[in-house]
Structure 1
Amino acid sequence: MTGSHPALTAHFPRWTVKGTAHHRTTCACCGHENLEHTVALAPLDLLGDASGPAVHFGPRCAAAVLHRPVAAVALAACHADMRAERKDAWARKIISLYGPMEFGTDQEMEAAWNRSGNASSSSWQAREFVTKFLADARAQLTDTTLRPTRPHSITDFQPFLVVLDTSNLRHHWCGVVPRENTEGFHTSARRDWTGMVSVTVAALDETSAVHVAFGRRGIAQYNAERGWF
């Protein structure tokens, strides 16, 4: 390792492994190019908090900086990747659930928040929570430390058909609604899922679509309970 990256001379006592970056193929330490991937490292201050932007080192340079075997760094990066994917999944759900409500009325905001598994809140509290959650979700999906920017706005939504049982307690199937032969798709779904409730929603992915489908029915129930129409 012959690197002279500024982070190496800043006397940071520790680093944390942020994950694997396949879109960054040049080591910021030694300058080696066309690597299969790099390892994203963030410097920690004396209190153990992240104190600067992540840098991308090749696996060997990352292992040298961390004073750990390459295999151990690879394992740490793998675990970090899984945590990052869970955060991405959370962000997609938040944007799918609340993105369309961002500029809604106070009643719409309160109903959307309170019927999505959250603690009961007033309309102004709900708007405050949603605004913060949406900002955090967008920041997560636009963070390019580990991967390029991911879809993160309502313009990126796709249509999904979600099939629920009549009790609305679980879903049986979810799939993207095709842009061609949409009518035939819905006809086939009705035939295959006779007796079930089919809901068409827009979301960033299938998992988020299921949350949106349950949330939509919950909002309708919440509004009915309060006489809001």
Structure 2
Amino acid sequence: MRTPMWKILGVTDDVTECGCCGRRGLRRTVALMPLDADGNEDGTAEDVAFYGTSCAAATLGWTHGKVTDAAHAAQGERNQRDAYARRMISLYAPVEFAPVREKARVFYGRNASLRHTGVKATEEVARLLAEARRTLADTTTGPARPSRIEDFRRYLVIFTQDRNIRTVLRLPDDENECQKQATAAARRAAEIEGSVLVVAALDDDAASDVAYTHDLAPEYFDQAARRHPDMSSA
């Protein structure tokens, strides 16, 4: 029987039992995808094995340190893909069902170089959203991540006078606390002669992108942010 070949996909703390030796209570495990004879991935999420670092090193014939470095590098790449996916969903999900004109305004406003290249905004928005949702639904190294508009959180964004972002603050779920934070943010913005905007996104980095894009389709971004009538703007 051919010795299995494996690709390290990342690390996870969701699986704490080694699939090789059965040891339990591990702080984390290494996610391994089997490869075929040509070195291509040969399986789906169900085929991923989760090994402790020592067992992964023995299986691959690597040192413990090399496995650890490779696992963290792979996880870093995955985290970057997740972050990009959260940005795409935060930016384009609010206009997914908007009229073509609004959708095009947002897409070309962010991708001006593609305006006259034959790239269709509606098709690109659909493609970007589909890819982003697949990325966040991938369970090869852990559970699916939030990817719906219903998963968005509200953020207070404080702009400087020249429209650079000074601060991004996650709004608490409690409305009274939201109002207090909004009042404090408005006071800080006034001190620097800036402004405040409330946006909705999947994380704070995506919130920054949404804030800079907001004026291209304010009605749709405000709808995503509106949980309370007087919190769509501050």
Query: What are the within-5 Å matches in structure 2 for residues 9-158 of structure 1?
Result: 11-12=3-4, 14-53=5-44, 54-117=48-111, 119-121=113-115, 125-158=120-153
Using the TM superposition, give the Cα deviation of residue 10 of structure 1 relative to its aligned residue in structure 2, in angstroms. Answer: 5.8
Using the TM superposition, give the Cα deviation of residue 99 of structure 1 relative to its aligned residue in structure 2, in angstroms. Answer: 1.0
Aligned-pair identity (%): 34
Could you tell me which amino acid in structure 2 is paired with residue 157 of structure 1?
F
Partner of 1:204: 202
- Name the stretch that deviates more: 34-43 or 89-98: 34-43
- Name the stretch that deviates more: 73-82 or 118-127: 118-127
In 2, Cα distance between equivalents of 1:77 and 1:196: 43
In 2, Cα distance between equivalents of 1:48 and 1:78: 21
Partner of 1:187: 183
Large movers: runs of 4+ above 6 Å? none
Partner of 2:229: none
Q: CA RMSD in A?
A: 2.2
For residue 202 of structure 1, give the secondary structure of its aligned residue in structure 2: strand
Q: Please list the CA deviations of residues 176-225 of structure 1 after superposition, one character each: whole Å capped at 9, or x if unmatched.
A: 223332333222212112111211111111111110010112457xxxxx
For residue 115 of structure 1, give the secondary structure of its aligned residue in structure 2: helix
Using the TM superposition, give the Cα deviation of residue 97 of structure 1 relative to its aligned residue in structure 2, in angstroms. Answer: 0.5
Structure 1 residues 183 and 30: CA distance shift in structure 2, 3 A: closer
In 1, Cα distance between equivalents of 2:18 and 2:115: 48
CA contact (8 A) 2:186 2:195 kept: no
- Name the stretch that deviates more: 89-98 or 24-33: 24-33
- TM-score of the two chains, using structure 2 as the length reference: 0.81
CA contact (8 A) 1:116 1:218 kept: no
Query: Where does the alignment leave 5 or more consecutive residues of structure 2 unmatched?
Result: 219-234
Could you tell me which amino acid in structure 2 is paired with residue 64 of structure 1?
A
Could you tell me which amino acid in structure 2 is paired with residue 193 of structure 1?
A
For residue 113 of structure 2, give the secondary structure of its aligned residue in structure 1: coil
For residue 110 of structure 2, give the secondary structure of its aligned residue in structure 1: coil
- TM-score of the two chains, using structure 1 as the length reference: 0.82
For residue 35 of structure 1, give the secondary structure of its aligned residue in structure 2: coil
In 2, Cα distance between equivalents of 1:151 and 1:93: 12
Using the TM superposition, give the Cα deviation of residue 82 of structure 1 relative to its aligned residue in structure 2, in angstroms. Answer: 1.2
Q: Please list the CA deviations of residues 83-137 of structure 1 after superposition, one character each: whole Å capped at 9, or x if unmatched.
A: 1111111111111101111111111111111112463347982121111211121
Partner of 1:3: none
Query: What are the within-5 Å matches in structure 2 for residues 157-196 of structure 1?
Result: 157-168=152-163, 170-178=164-172, 179-181=174-176, 182-194=178-190, 195-196=193-194
CA contact (8 A) 1:110 1:121 kept: no
Total equivalences in the alignment: 210
Could you tell me which amino acid in structure 2 is paired with residue 197 of structure 1?
S
In 1, Cα distance between equivalents of 2:188 and 2:161: 15
Query: Where does the alignment leave 5 or more consecutive residues of structure 1 unmatched?
Result: 1-8, 221-229
CA contact (8 A) 2:11 2:31 kept: yes
Could you tell me which amino acid in structure 2 is paired with residue 66 of structure 1?
L
In 2, Cα distance between equivalents of 1:105 and 1:48: 45
